Structure 1
Amino acid sequence: MITLKRILVLIAVVSFISESFGQQKDIKLPPEATEFWEPVPRKVSVGAQNHDAPSDAIVLFDGSNLNNFVSVRDNSPAAWKVENGSMTVTPQKGDIKTKEAFGDMQLHIEWASPTVVKGEGQGRGNSGVIIMGMYEIQVLDSYESRTYSNGQAASVYKQYPPLVNATKAPGEWNTYDIFFTAPRFNKDGMLTSPAKVTVIHNGILVQNAVELKGPTEYIGIPNYRAHEAELPFVLQDHGDLVSFRNIWVRRL
């Protein structure tokens, strides 16, 4: 078996010969020279359906209780309504957050705007998935309601509009699959790598590895501030009866 070390040596030799003699096209390598067998990707069992949690996921909400969430306001038990396998915002009870903290992650979450349609724009089925409590992916009834493009459903709020509007009708379940890379800071608190996010909305790519400009700001320009490598994510109480279900996370 050719080890990774041997492969790297072979590549180095080939590069040296190529640079020295300009004859890379004449050098023949065995196929094994570019193969490696370690590490072996670990095996994961997939769910029976595409939206089911895989075996290595952390299931945060399976429809039965809110034990994995607390109030953002005072860390008391989350007080949203749980019924028929989903949780629904209870207005005035405030945002809720995960007990567990996360950094780089794959997040799956499903949401539905209220069946009783009220309001327009930002006043229509408004909530949000706020990663690390700072970086918001907008939840909104954008099915047939116009608002500013970087504030509609699946936008990185006030930063990037979605590539397309894939929102389903009120009462139907939307899915977000969010792939998040947390920002990096050096020991002096300076940003060394911005956060990145990819969002798939109902199976459609709507945010393609965009670099976040900083934490979400409703007013003003976002600016990074050094923070922990892992933090809870938040579900927003914006006063509308938005529902959520089937929430799971994979650490990356």
Structure 2
Amino acid sequence: MKKLFISALFLTVTWAAQAQLQPKKMTPESSEVWDPVPRLVTPGAPSSAVSGFTAPSDAIVLFDGKDLDQWESVKGGEAPWTVADNAIITAAGKGGIQTKRDFGDYQLHIEWRSPAEVKGNGQGRGNSGIFMQGRYELQVLDSYDNRTYSNGQAGSIYKQTMPLVNAAKKPGEWQTYDVMYTAPRFNKDGMMLIPPYITVLHNGVLIQNHTAIQGNTDYIGRPTIKPHGRGPIMLQDHGNPTSFRNVWIREL
């Protein structure tokens, strides 16, 4: 009798547990998520001064056409480039500039222009670069009717991954890069567990689609991997008077 009572009790508890696990009847509302509510961001407004839109409300404006207060020389000290006509002009021979702030994951908008007067060819035409965290280069180059190695043309992850297409405008025309970037993750021993990934729109055209960056941008040899933390946005001085404007970033 005692065994029968225990068995009955066990079945009762089991049935109760199973009843609790049974899902309620699903309705269209069952899959609706009401909380949390995405925060409000005001999009940028159309502007005749830039290629498209001004910065959204939650962006950090890195250059607004007025000064280089957000930038410094890669060699240390004040940024040696000049500002004219609401644009940053590369000061050839004075070295690159970088943001004073460091960043990790972000959305970056930047507009650039190669000189209207074409001089040189290949890598010698409108050459510059935008370095993610100061070490991974997104190539800037006049790639309009200008043949060079494919993983060195505009929109390439320099010496690594060529762009999906060539979306370059004519020399002297303003062009845009919209970049979505996630920084690499390293373990405590310096091993890269997750590589940096980059997605790039060039003049509104997808040219890098969640591309894995292989390592530091090295001119000679294979990319190298060195553990690091947050880093600056760096603009390269490659000896050509390339211009930049409307630079903003949204940390993710």
Residue of structure 1 equivalent to 2:109:
108
When structure 1 is superposed on structure 2, of 176-185 and 42-51 the one drifting more is 42-51
User: How far does the alpha carbon of each residue in 1:59-93 deviate from its partner, in whole angstroms, 9 at most, with x for none?
Assistant: 010110011100001x2111111101001101111
TM-score, L = length of structure 2? 0.87
The separation in 2 between residues aligned to 1:13 and 1:176, in whole angstroms, is 51
Question: In the alignment, does 2:69 pair up with 1:72?
Answer: no
How much does 1:36 deviate?
1.5
Question: By how many angstroms is 1:34 displaced?
Answer: 1.5
Give the TM-score, by structure 1 length.
0.87
The 2-side partners of 1:251 and 1:56 are apart by 9
Which residues in structure 2 correspond to 1:1-252 (within 5 Å)? 29-49=26-46, 50-73=52-75, 75-228=76-229, 230-252=230-252
How far apart in 2 are the matches of 1:47 and 1:107? 14
| Residue 223 of structure 1, CA deviation | 2.6
What is the match of residue 3 of structure 2? Answer: none
User: How many residues of Structure 1 are paired with residues of Structure 2 in the alignment?
Assistant: 227
Deviation per CA, 1:170-203: give whole Å up to 9, x if none. 1100000010000001122111110000000000
Q: Aligned-pair distance for 1:218?
A: 1.0
1:51, distance to aligned residue in structure 2 (A):
2.6
Q: In structure 2, list runs of 5 or more residues that go unmatched.
A: 1-20, 47-51
Deviation at 1:55, TM superposition (A): 0.2
**How many Å apart are 1:28 and its aligned residue?**
5.9
CA distance in 2, matches of 1:13, 1:226: 49
Q: Judge which range, 214-223 or 88-97, deviates more.
A: 214-223
Deviation at 1:217, TM superposition (A): 1.3
* Residues 40/239 of structure 1: CA separation in 2 closer, same or farther (3 Å cut): same
Structure 2 Cα separation of the partners of residues 58 and 145 of structure 1: 34
Q: Pairwise CA RMSD of aligned residues?
A: 1.3
Counterpart residue type for residue 161 of structure 2: Y
Q: Aligned partners of 1:224 and 1:30: how far apart in 2?
A: 51
The alpha carbon displacement at 1:13 in A equals 5.6
**Aligned residue for 1:23?**
none
Deviation at 1:35, TM superposition (A): 1.6
Moved over 3 A (4+): none
Deviates more, 1:217-226 or 1:124-133: 217-226
| Structure (1 or 2) with the larger CA radius of gyration | 2
Indicate the residue corresponding to 1:6 in structure 2: none
Would the alpha carbon gap of residues 170 and 13 (structure 1) be closer, same or farther in structure 2, given more than 3 Å must change?
Answer: farther
Note the C-alpha offset of 1:32: 2.0
Matching residue's letter, 1:249: I
Matching residue's letter, 1:124: R
